[in-house]
Amino acid sequence: MPAVKGATGIKLRIEQKTDMKKRTGGRSPDDADSFLILLELCRERLNFQAQGMEGNRGTPARTFQQRVRLINQVYQNVSYEAEEIAA
């Protein structure tokens, strides 16, 4: 879907399949592409959230901030001393 700038901001414009094929070099979205686009639209616009098998909203094991702190720990004990090269 091409974006069109309007008076109230950027809007998505639906286009004919033949026009889309011309724009994308003959490629056409299949059913999986269409489903994933619709799913992302529902997540973005309707605030859909993933749920577990029991119907409970899944919670990640670590938050993004916790992951960043864990990854950055690698740099806490780094020594930047010159290495001796054996000849």
The burial of 29, by beta-carbon neighbours within 10 Å (0-12 exposed, 13-18 middle, 19 or more buried), is given as middle
What is the enclosing helix (H) or strand (E) of 5?
Answer: strand 3-6
Residue-wise pLDDT tens digits, 56-79: 666 667 777 888 888 888 777 666
pLDDT of 55: 64
56 residue type, one letter:
N
> What was the pLDDT predicted at 60?
63
Cα→Cα distances 79→50, 61, 82, Å:
43, 31, 9
For the chain, residues with pLDDT lower than 50 are: none
State residue 1's pLDDT score: 59
